[in-house]
C-alpha cells in the first residue's frame, strides 16, 4: 500500500485571486484620501508573494509610507482568512482529475493543510472534494488552534498522522511551501514540491525537496509510473 499526503492550498486550490482581492482591499483601506498609490497588477503581486517579499515591502512598493505599510500588513493578516474572501478560491486545473487517478489506483490519500476545520469544510462543500478525503484522512488545524509558524506546525500534523494511520510501504508528501517539504523530510517521507502555489521554484529549491514539478497532476503521474523509485533529477515538469 502506498500513501499520498497532499497539501490543500497550492496543489488543489488556487488562492491567488483571494490574496489579490485582499491586497486591493487593504491598499484602498490604508491609503489616505487623494493619496496617489500604485496598485500592482495581479501578476506583479503574485510574483512578489511567490518570491516571499514581505507584506510591508509590497505595501511600500504600492506607494504607502512606512506607518501605512505596518497598518496594511496588520489589516491583511486580519482579513485574508475571513469567510467573505474564500469565495475567490478556485481549483487548480487538473487537480480533481489527479485526485481521481490516485483514488482509482488504490493509493491511500490524505490531505494535510494549515487550514482550520471550518476553512477546509467550506472548500470541501464548494468544490465537492469530501469524496476524496474521509474524515480520518483529513489533517488540519482545529478552529481554536493558536498558530505559530507553518514550518513548525505542519511537521506536528505529520507526526500525528503517522501515529494514527496504518503503516504503509511507502509515502509521499506533495505541497507548495517550505512547510510541506520540512514536514516530509523530518519524518523520512519523500517531498515533492509543486510550482502551482505560493512559492516559486527558487524558494522551493532552498529547502531541497526530492522533486520539484509543475503541479499535482505531474506529481501523481510520476508516482503512478513508479518513477520515484530510482533517483531523479531535481527539476521535472
Please state whether 156 falls in left (phi above 0), alpha (psi between -120 and 50) or beta. alpha
> What average pLDDT does the segment 168-196 reach?
97
Query: Considering only CA atoms, which of 183, 176, 163 is closest in space to residue 211?
Result: 176
Q: Please enumerate in sequence order all residues whose Cβ is within 8 A of that of 197, keeping only pairs 6 or more positions apart, or say none.
A: 7, 9, 10, 11, 14, 15, 175, 176, 177
> What average pLDDT does the segment 73-82 reach?
97
**Global confidence as pTM:** 0.93
Cα 234 versus chain centre, distance: 20
Q: How far apart are CA 130 and CA 10, in angstroms?
A: 17
Give the model's pLDDT for residue 55: 97
Q: Is residue 226 predicted with pLDDT exceeding 80? A: no
Cβ-contact 219, 95 below 8 angstroms:
no
Give the model's pLDDT for residue 235: 52
Name the CA radius of gyration of the chain, rounded: 18
Q: Is residue 167 predicted with pLDDT exceeding 80? A: yes
pLDDT tens, residue by residue, 113-162:
999 999 999 999 999 999 999 999 999 999 999 888 999 999 999 999 99
Confidence of residue 211 (pLDDT cuts 50, 70, 90): very high
pLDDT tens, residue by residue, 13-61:
999 999 999 999 999 999 999 999 999 999 999 999 999 999 999 999 9
Q: How far apart are CA 182 and CA 203, in angstroms?
A: 13
- Which of the listed CATH numbers 1.10.1510.10, 1.10.10.10, 3.40.980.10, 3.40.50.1000 matches domain 2-14+90-224? 3.40.50.1000
> What average pLDDT does the segment 83-105 reach?
97
Q: How far apart are CA 225 and CA 102, in angstroms?
A: 12
Q: Is residue 231 predicted with pLDDT exceeding 90? A: no
Question: Nine-digit cell at 134?
Answer: 474521509
Amino acid at each position: 500500500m502506498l500513501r499520498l499526503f497532499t497539501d490543500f492550498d497550492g496543489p488543489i486550490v488556487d488562492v491567488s485571486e483571494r490574496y489579490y482581492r485582499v491586497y486591493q482591499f487593504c491598499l484602498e483601506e490604508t491609503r489616505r484620501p487623494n493619496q496617489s498609490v500604485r496598485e500592482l497588477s495581479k501578476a506583479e503581486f503574485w510574483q512578489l508573494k511567490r518570491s516571499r517579499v514581505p507584506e510591508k515591502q509590497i505595501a511600500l512598493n504600492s506607494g504607502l509610507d512606512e506607518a501605512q505599510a505596518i497598518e496594511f500588513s496588520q489589516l491583511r493578516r486580519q482579513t485574508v482568512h475571513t469567510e467573505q474572501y474564500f469565495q475567490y478560491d478556485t481549483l487548480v486545473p487538473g487537480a480533481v482529475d489527479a485526485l481521481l487517478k490516485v483514488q482509482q489506483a488504490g493509493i491511500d490519500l490524505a490531505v494535510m493543510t494549515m487550514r482550520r476545520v471550518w476553512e477546509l469544510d467550506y472548500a470541501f462543500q464548494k468544490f465537492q472534494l469530501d469524496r476524496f478525503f474521509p474524515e480520518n484522512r483529513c489533517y488540519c488545524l482545529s478552529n481554536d488552534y493558536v498558530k505559530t509558524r507553518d514550518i513548525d506546525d505542519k511537521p506536528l500534523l505529520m507526526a500525528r498522522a503517522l501515529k494514527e494511520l496504518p503503516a504503509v510501504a511507502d509515502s509521499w508528501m506533495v505541497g507548495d511551501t517550505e512547510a510541506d517539504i520540512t514536514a516530509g523530510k523530518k519524518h523520512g517521507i519523500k517531498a515533492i514540491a509543486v510550482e502551482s502555489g505560493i512559492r516559486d521554484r527558487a524558494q522551493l529549491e532552498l529547502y531541497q525537496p526530492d522533486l520539484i514539478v509543475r503541479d499535482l497532476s505531474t506529481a501523481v503521474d510520476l508516482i503512478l509510473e513508479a518513477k520515484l523509485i530510482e533517483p531523479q533529477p531535481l527539476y521535472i515538469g
